[in-house]
Each structure stands twice: as structure tokens, then as C-alpha cells.
Chain A
Amino acid sequence: MRSEALDITIESRGSSVLLVLAGPFHNEQIPNIREKITGLIDDGAKEIVVDLEGVTEMNDGVVPMFLGLYNLMKGKRGDLKLIFRNAVVSTAFAPYRNIFSIHPDARSLAFNSIMHRIRRRGLLMSRKTGVRLSPPVAMFIFLVLLGWFLTLGFIISMQNARIRGQEQEINELSGWKEQAVAEIQHLKDRLRPIEQLGLIRDSTVAAVITNINAGRQVKEVVKSRPNIEPATITSLEHELQQELKPRDAAAAPGAEDSAHGLESMP
């Protein structure tokens, strides 16, 4: 019989009731289906999900029936959601697409609103571009991209921390430098009158002479032996400095006296 052509399945899915309809949906079946859904609403169902994916034919009276039921559900602060993707049902519901909450499959109902939007957007994009990704492939690509972004973020944050450290070090050093310059200046200012009196001699001049002499001798050695290693040059330099120090000290006797003279000053 035509009035019995539709297969009906009713089951509970969490807080909602899922009604699956399959087969040809003729006008003769409208009272029967309306009665069943109204019965569910009367029993206190707050969310009814109707799966119409299996519907193969749909008469004109079906959509108005769903509009009526939607109105009834809204009046009772409930919600009526529809699931379908097939051409027959999509065509019938096209003028009311923005009224009903329509989902492509039962799984999409389980997602939260953001995921749901993404999914719907994805479906829309897939329809526009014709490119469709299976969930595992999409998940794989998503994970790869996420991995890339996480790695990039990690590198940036690491570099940032390093730059900050270096910046802090520069600040510290420049502060120390300013302090040292100020201190040297202060000491120079204090020494200047004594120097002008000729009581002390600048010891830094003797150190420069020592370094210059050592440098000259090292250069001669390097010229004679081109394959000499830098470590050897450093040690040679050091040895020469040690050697030249007493000679230079002897060449500038006032330096030691000036130091003693300073200590004895009031």
C-alpha cells in the first residue's frame, strides 16, 4: 500500500531523537509521519533529527508538513534538524534552505559549531571546486601543516629569546663601559694636577712600548716561519712580553717611583 511505502526508524541519540525515513514519501504518508513526529514532541523530545537521505521520491505536501512541524517545535523551544544530501530532497527543500537546519550526515551533528561551520564550508568549497578530501587525508594534511606552523613558531620564539638575551648583555656592557669611562675620567682628573707637577709618569706608555716591542719581534718570527699556528704565536707573544717587561721597567724607572709616590701622598 502507498500509505505504508516509507520505512521508519526511531532511535535515541544522546539527548535527541533520530527519525530515519527511507523510500518514496507520498502525500498519503503525511498524516502518519506527522502523527509520529507529533507523538515524539508530545513525549517531550526537545530535539528531533529527521534523516531524509534514504527518501527516493517526495510529493509536494511533504515540505509544508515539515514547515508546520518546525513551527511546532520552535513554539515548544525545541529544534528540528534535517539530514540529507540527495538530489530529490535537496530540490524539494531548496526554497526553505535557510529556514531549516540542514546537515549532510548524522556525524556532522556531533561536531561543535566551529567544526560544523568548517565542515559546511568544506562541503561548499568541495562543491565549488570539485576537490574533495577524505577525512584521513584531510587530517594528515592538517597535522603536517600544524607541525610546520608549530616548528616555525618554536624557532621564532627561540630566536626571540636569544636576541633579548643579547640585548640585555649589550645594555649591561654599555652601562659598565659608561661607568668605567666616567671612573677613568674621574681618576684622570684627579691625576692631572700631579702629572702637571711632574711627580708621576704615565705607566700605560711603558705597557704600550712593551707590547709594540713584543709585536715587532713576533712579526719577524712569523715572517721567517709562515706555517706557524696562531696558538704558538699567542704563547710566543706572551713569553716575549714577560721577557721585555723587566727591561722596559728598567728603561722607565719613574713609573715604580710614581706609584710609590702616589701611595705616600695625603
Chain B
Amino acid sequence: MRRHALALLIQPYKNTLVPQDKLREAINICARKLVDIACAYPNIRLNLIFPAYMLSHIDTLLLTELREVQKRGCLEWLTPGYTEPFLSFSPLWLSGANIRAGLDTFEELLSVRPVGYTPPFSNWEPSCLDTFRACGLQYAVVSRAVIPHEAQNYCGYWITEHMGTHMAVFPAHMVHHYTAPANISDWIEGNIAKDPGDDALTKLVAINYLVPLVHDEEVDPYRWLQSLAQVMDNLLVRYQVIRLQEFQSLSYPLGLQYLPPQLVFKRDDETTIPYFSNYLHTFEQVGIMQRKMMEIADRLEQSKDAKDTASLIRQLFFAQDINRYLPAKTSGFTHLRDRLWTYAKMIDIETALHEKERIKGGRIRIADLLRNGTKSIVLTNATIKACIDHKNGGQVFELDFRDRSINLFAGYAPQTHSPPRIIVAGKSCAAFVDHFLDEKCRRADFMGRLYTHRDEFTRAEFNYTVKKSAAGAKAVLGRQCAVSIDGKNYPLAVEKVFGIEGETPALSFVYQLANHSLTAYRFKFAVEFTFTLPGALTNEVKVVCGDRSYGDLQTASVDMAEVLKWTLYDDALGASIQFVLQKPVEVWIFPARRLEEAGQRHQGITCVLSTPVSMGENARWSLIGKIICRKLKTKGTGFDEI
């Protein structure tokens, strides 16, 4: 009887953000357990999958013990890179740099250079094959779900080829502690029995056990691992428990398999989503985050060999983490904390690059920032960055306050929008969204969407011009349109101006409405902002207007009439956002309504400036204001997380 092979792959993972001390503790517990297993069962071989940054958190003594196990030949290391890069969403050079940095870290800390690659979430990209080979990787481990359905029962490994480069691919059974089989021995034999291939060949069952580093108190993910190791030790007479690298000398590959780009959305999923990218881009935030990451990567690529760029590139590896770009229960772009963390990493890099370029007095960019074929206008100075989408109603979809590394407009709308366009007017949760409402519209009506839109400005495309002077920069957006009142259309010209002055952390705005007709009409004009302040999660955000103060903005709603100046304070972030207007307006503040509907956790505060407007014949009306960001003493420690 042929002695078939078993491969035990252990992959500790961390999808949620964890403070550094907790992460260090969790990694050390995991490493200790693995050393214990390796010492208790010296005849079985372990294949460990670690992102390299985790190694730097392991105690030196434990690392020495792991090195000893490795010297005995009982251990093989595999890696997804320095972090867990989202291959499909990252520039090729950045993924290559990430993997290379990971391998270098392994060499530095463990004196070994892994030859096995494990793409996170089995995110397979055939175009990366050249990069893998250039990094010295010899094989990859993916979920069985990535292999075509008819070939999934074969026990062994395949050769995948793309554009002249080939590589060995091991399909593995992804096992989680809550999906793990109870009777392991029968399960292994069942898998061997299902193999329709040649019985003369040595077969391989690869088990990739996913160990959550952050787990529930009552569940012990190491218990099943212990029992699995014990069962494998007992089965040593019938099966050889091997390192994956060894199997290539034990058996021939099963054949060729072309693997298209794909992703296993859940780690224990049995199916893949071939058009996952389209699905993800029906949300705006994932697209904005990815585009920002790619833009930074493009800027860093120009000087990637420079010494001072290396640390920035390493910082970008964390912004590349796949866990931030996939929607999940405890992590991903759907979580405010995750979004703000990713933005913070990227804003820090942008700030460093801005300082390096020594730009004085601001900068205007008109670029295809969203890479969807339309231009965005970007106003930047040393302290602030505003991104304006002139195509969709002149909304501002990003406002970075660099001193606090935060995107204040990182609002997320859970409703998907198809076709995938990243930002869709009226659906995306941005800022400076204009509404022309009925005169009698109140906050409750607005929140309940009981009003009727009297215009198409929200979705309209604006013409734009930009101005740059030594003092600052401004973008002027304009459009001729009509408002509908009592079934009649009246002409209306709207001009929106956004400006930055010098290096001050302020975004000034001007609205100018003009009635070029000979008929007078009235409506309520409203401008909507959605602020994403981390303090709102812990109830540390308050609104102060004169001597009045309003808290509990996670659930409460606020009406303020006839105000010229008010401030949002976030103690957790350590920042204040002040509105200063030249005309009194009514202000409505309430939890971001779109999220309320979806029943999700609080993720933002909607702030609406509303004012009745009466347009006489050939009349003009304007609203001038400014959003000023200021640094305060911070109480939060959230950004210690990784």
C-alpha cells in the first residue's frame, strides 16, 4: 500500500485592527503553541504561513526555539509578503516590493528565505507570476475553490502557466476552527478516496488551518490543532506528514491548470467570485481608498530606490492590506475604524511627500484620480487636501486634515450602485451635496426623505475653471439649470467656488445662485455634509454653538436656527471643525441617515446647512463660508493599532 502524504499548514491571521501590545501578546501565544506542538510531535512536519511583519513581534527566545525546530527539518515557512497585499488592487511593483520585503525580514530574523507563497484570501493573479519567480518563490498555496470544479477532488499539485512563466500550485483545504471536521481520520481518508487520479501516484492532502489571532474568549482555536497534530502522529504509519517543498520530489504534478484572477471572499468559502472587483467598486469607499493607494504608489515609484522613500513604501504595505478592502463582519472598508486607519497611513505618506516637494502656497491638480475616465479637482496645501468631483454635482469626496491624519469625509453608503462607478451622485456619501427643497421642508422631512428634489443639480455635471495665485488656489464650478416649482421650470445658474489659502487648514466655499429670468420664485437651499469623526463611536463628539453644547451625536439630532458660527469637537481625534458663515443659516445635525436605514453601526454625522432663498427677477443670492480645522489635545490612542 502506498504511503500518501499529508501537509499541515498553519496560518495565523489577523483581520481586525488590534493595538500593538495585544497583537504582540497574541502572536507570542501562537508561536509558543506552535513550538509546543513541534516539540510534542517531533515526527510530523509543520508548514507555517506568517506575514513577515508579525515575526518582528515574536520574542527573541521564541524565535530561537522556532529556529531550532527549523534546523531539525520539522518546519517550513511560507509567507503572503511583508503584510497581506491585495494583489488585484495593487500596482505590480508594490506587490513585488511587499513580497521581497517579507522575504528579507524572514532572512534577517530566521535566516531562512521562504520559497512558498500564500496569497491572502487566495487572491490569485496570474500576471504576478513573473514577480513571484523574480522574488525566488517556487510554489503557491491556494484554496481548493480556486481550482476548476472538476479538478477539485484531485489530491496533489498542479502547474499553472501564464505568459510563459509557470509555477507549482498546491490546492489546500481551508479549515477554520468552526468548520473543522470532528473525525479527522475519516475526513482524510474520504478525501483520498474521492481522488479520481492514478492510484500509483503519491497523493497529498493539504490542510490549511486558519488560526485567528484575535478570537472569542470561549473558543480555543488551538484545541483542534492539537487534536489534528495528535491524529497525524497516530497516522504516521499510513501517511507521511511532510513539508510542502518535499512533495515535489515525491510525486509528479497532476497537470496544467490555468487559474484566472480570483478571490475567495470568505476564508473557508468553497466558491470564488470571478468579478469581485466590479462588486467592490459598487461601493465608493473601497474605490477611493484603492485609488489613493495607487496614486501614492505611483508617486513613490519615481523615487523607490531612494533611502528616505524606503520607510514610506513600508508604511504603504500596511495600506495595501487586503483585510481593509473586503467587507467583513469585524473588518474591512465597511467599518469606520478600518477606513480611517487606512486613510491615516496614506495621509501620513502624502504629508511626507508634500514636505519633500517643498510646495508653497498650495497646489491644484486636475487628474483622473478615481481612474474611471473623469477628472477630479484636487486642492492641496501643507495642512489640507480636498478632492472635488465636478462630474457628480461638484461634491467633495475627500477632505484630509493632515495634522491629524484624517479624511473627514470618509462616509460610506451601504447601498451598492451599479454599474460600478465608485462615486454616484445621490447615492455616495460625500460632502457639499446640494439640495433645492420645498420651502417648508424641516429636519424630520429631510431625514425621512419626505421632501421632493426640485432640481437636477445633485447629479449634474459642472463646468470648471481653476485659479492659482501665490496666496492660494481655487476651483470655480458652474452650471446653468432649472428648478421646478409648481410644475414649472425656472432657470437658475449655480456657481460653487472652493478655495484654499496659503498653508492654513481651511477650506472656503462660496455658493452663488442667479435667476436670469423675469419671474421670482422661492425654495429652500440645503448643503449636506457627512463627517466621519472617530470620537462619535465613543461619544466624544460634541457640537458647540455660542454657549450651547450638544453631545450624544451617535443617536441624537440637533436643530440650530440662525447661526453664523459653530464647531464640532472630537476629543478622541484631538481636532475641531469650525464652520464660519457670512449669512445666518439653519443647521440640522443627525446620525448619517443612509447608515441608519441599513441598520449598521454609527459611522458618521450628517450636517445640513439650510436656508430659505427668495430669488427675485434677475436676482443673485450667495452664501460664503469656511470650514476651519484645528488641532486640539488628543485623548485617543486608536492609531496605535495595526
Interface positions of A (Cβ within 8 A of B)? 1, 4, 7-14, 17, 22, 35-36, 39-40, 43-44
Chain B positions 338-394 with a Cβ under 8 Å from a chain A Cβ: 359-368, 373-375
- Distance A7 CA – B369 CA, assembled complex (angstroms): 9
Are the C-beta atoms of A12 and B365 separated by less than 8 Å? no
- Cβ of B97 < 8 Å from any Cβ of A? no
CB distance from B593 to the nearest CB of A (A): 33
Chain A residues closer than 8 Å to B361, beta-carbon distance: 11-12
- Cβ of B465 < 8 Å from any Cβ of A? yes
- Distance A39 CA – B374 CA, assembled complex (angstroms): 23
- Distance A7 CA – B368 CA, assembled complex (angstroms): 7
Question: Which of B176-184, B408-416, B466-474, B553-561 sits within the interface?
Answer: B466-474
Are the C-beta atoms of A10 and B465 separated by less than 8 Å? no
Query: Besides A10-B364, A14-B360, 12 other CB < 8 A contacts?
Result: A7-B366, A8-B364, A9-B363, A9-B364, A9-B367, A11-B359, A12-B470, A13-B360, A36-B466, A40-B468, A43-B467, A43-B469
Which of A1, A10, A43 has the most chain B CB atoms inside 10 A of its CB? A10
- Distance A12 CA – B364 CA, assembled complex (angstroms): 10
Are the C-beta atoms of A11 and B362 separated by less than 8 Å? yes
Chain B residues closer than 8 Å to A22, beta-carbon distance: 367
Are the C-beta atoms of B466 and A10 separated by less than 8 Å? yes
Chain A residues closer than 8 Å to B374, beta-carbon distance: 4
**Which chain B residue lies CB-closest to A42?**
B467
CB distance from B355 to the nearest CB of A (A): 14
CB distance from A48 to the nearest CB of B (A): 11
- Distance A43 CA – B467 CA, assembled complex (angstroms): 8
CB distance from B475 to the nearest CB of A (A): 11
**Which chain A residue lies CB-closest to B468?**
A10
Chain B residues closer than 8 Å to A4, beta-carbon distance: 374-375
CB distance from B500 to the nearest CB of A (A): 12
Are the C-beta atoms of B363 and A11 separated by less than 8 Å? yes
Chain B residues closer than 8 Å to A1, beta-carbon distance: 373
Per-position contact with A for B442-471: 1 when CB-CB < 8 Å, else 0?
A: 000000000000000000000001111110
Q: A39-B467, A43-B468 are in contact. Are A8 and B365 (CB under 8 A)?
A: yes
CB distance from B548 to the nearest CB of A (A): 41
- Distance A50 CA – B366 CA, assembled complex (angstroms): 15
- Distance A13 CA – B359 CA, assembled complex (angstroms): 6
- Distance A159 CA – B469 CA, assembled complex (angstroms): 61
Chain B residues closer than 8 Å to A40, beta-carbon distance: 468
Which of A4, A9, A12, A22 has the most chain B CB atoms inside 10 A of its CB? A12
Chain A residues closer than 8 Å to B467, beta-carbon distance: 39, 43
Are the C-beta atoms of B365 and A39 separated by less than 8 Å? no
- Distance A1 CA – B372 CA, assembled complex (angstroms): 11
- Distance A37 CA – B375 CA, assembled complex (angstroms): 18
- Distance A22 CA – B295 CA, assembled complex (angstroms): 14
**Which chain B residue lies CB-closest to A14?**
B360
Are the C-beta atoms of B367 and A12 separated by less than 8 Å? no
**Which chain B residue lies CB-closest to A19?**
B468
**Which chain B residue lies CB-closest to A11?**
B363
Q: A12-B359, A12-B361, A13-B359 are in contact. Are A7 and B367 (CB under 8 A)?
A: yes
Chain B residues closer than 8 Å to A35, beta-carbon distance: 465
Are the C-beta atoms of B468 and A12 separated by less than 8 Å? yes
- Distance A218 CA – B538 CA, assembled complex (angstroms): 113
- Distance A43 CA – B359 CA, assembled complex (angstroms): 19
**Which chain A residue lies CB-closest to B357?**
A11
- 25 interchain pairs (CB within 8 A)? A1-B373, A7-B365, A7-B367, A7-B368, A7-B375, A8-B364, A9-B363, A9-B365, A9-B366, A9-B367, A10-B363, A10-B364, A10-B468, A10-B473, A11-B364, A11-B468, A12-B362, A13-B360, A22-B367, A36-B465, A36-B466, A39-B465, A40-B468, A43-B467, A44-B469
Chain B residues closer than 8 Å to A11, beta-carbon distance: 359, 361-364, 468
**Which chain A residue lies CB-closest to B375?**
A4
- Distance A171 CA – B439 CA, assembled complex (angstroms): 111
CB distance from A193 to the nearest CB of B (A): 96
Are the C-beta atoms of A17 and B468 separated by less than 8 Å? yes
Chain B residues closer than 8 Å to A8, beta-carbon distance: 364-367
- Distance A118 CA – B469 CA, assembled complex (angstroms): 33
Which of B360, B465, B468 has the most chain A CB atoms inside 10 A of its CB? B468
A-B CB proximity, top 6 nearest? A11-B363, A7-B367, A12-B361, A8-B366, A10-B468, A10-B364
Chain B residues closer than 8 Å to A7, beta-carbon distance: 365-368, 375
Chain A residues closer than 8 Å to B362, beta-carbon distance: 11-12
Chain A residues closer than 8 Å to B360, beta-carbon distance: 12-14
Chain A residues closer than 8 Å to B375, beta-carbon distance: 4, 7
Chain A residues closer than 8 Å to B473, beta-carbon distance: 10
Chain B residues closer than 8 Å to A10, beta-carbon distance: 363-365, 466, 468, 473
- Distance A40 CA – B467 CA, assembled complex (angstroms): 7
- Distance A22 CA – B465 CA, assembled complex (angstroms): 18
CB distance from A206 to the nearest CB of B (A): 88
- Distance A39 CA – B468 CA, assembled complex (angstroms): 9
Chain A residues closer than 8 Å to B470, beta-carbon distance: 12
- Distance A7 CA – B378 CA, assembled complex (angstroms): 11
**Which chain B residue lies CB-closest to A6?**
B366
Chain A residues closer than 8 Å to B469, beta-carbon distance: 43-44
**Which chain A residue lies CB-closest to B367?**
A7
- Distance A17 CA – B375 CA, assembled complex (angstroms): 21
**Which chain B residue lies CB-closest to A5?**
B368
- Distance A51 CA – B361 CA, assembled complex (angstroms): 19
- Distance A56 CA – B365 CA, assembled complex (angstroms): 18
**Which chain A residue lies CB-closest to B359?**
A11
- Distance A7 CA – B466 CA, assembled complex (angstroms): 13
Chain A residues closer than 8 Å to B466, beta-carbon distance: 10, 36
Chain A residues closer than 8 Å to B364, beta-carbon distance: 8-11
